[in-house]
Amino acid sequence: KVGQPVALFHNQTITLYICLLADPDGCLMSSAVLDVSNLSISWQASRQYCVDKGTQLASPSWANAHYYLTQKLTEVGASGQAWIGLRRHLLTREWYWQNGQGLDFSNWERGQPVIPEKGMCASMRMEPNGNYTWSSVQCCSSLKLIA
């Protein structure tokens, strides 16, 4: 159910309300619930986990959304690496957001993204210094999720 918190870092539970995701048509902004979980699962399992909760993986598809997301993650002391709602198309190898939007904004780590054979899904590195860069990762890797 949307709005229900999940287990977070340091054995805490937190729910943050942020303005992050656009509607399916990409026209309007709506409030979204940010849940960061210590679950360590694949990109597809993370996506399904979010769908089952009525949400989706965090998709900072424009600069202000990315900035706001990083501010909230910094506030809760998030660290490590977590999935975001970005992946490559299997046929074209182009990056797209889980809502179907193309990639207009990015915050790739230096040397990223790697060739498709080494990473079809995207993760965000959450560092205490506020460096929230993205990396391409194999989708079957086990990482945390941000919903």
The amino acid that residue 145 corresponds to is L
CB atoms within 10 A of CB 25: 8
pLDDT tens for the 147 residues of the chain, in order: 333 333 333 333 333 322 233 334 343 334 455 677 777 889 998 888 888 877 888 889 999 889 888 888 888 788 888 889 999 999 999 999 988 889 999 999 999 999 999 999 999 998 877 789 999 999 999 888 777
- For 50-53, the CB contacts below 8 A with 24+ separation are 50/145, 50/147, 53/1, 53/2, 53/4, 53/147
Question: 25 lies in a domain?
Answer: yes
Query: What does the pLDDT read at residue 27?
Result: 35
Alpha helices (H) in the chain, listed in sequence order: 43-52, 63-75
How many structural domains are present in the chain?
Answer: 1
Question: 96 lies in a domain?
Answer: yes
- Rounded Cα distance between 123 and 24, Å, is 22
> What CATH code is carried by the domain that includes residue 73?
3.10.100.10
By the 10 Å C-beta count (0-12 exposed, 13-18 middle, 19+ buried), 21 is classed as: buried
Closest of 30, 90, 39, 80 to residue 59, by C-alpha = 30
Domain range for 127 is: 6-146
Question: 1 lies in a domain?
Answer: no
Q: Please give the radius of gyration of the chain, using alpha carbons only, rounded to the nearest integer.
A: 14
Question: 64 lies in a domain?
Answer: yes
Question: 13 lies in a domain?
Answer: yes
Query: What does the pLDDT read at residue 34?
Result: 67
Question: 37 lies in a domain?
Answer: yes
Question: 137 lies in a domain?
Answer: yes
Question: 16 lies in a domain?
Answer: yes
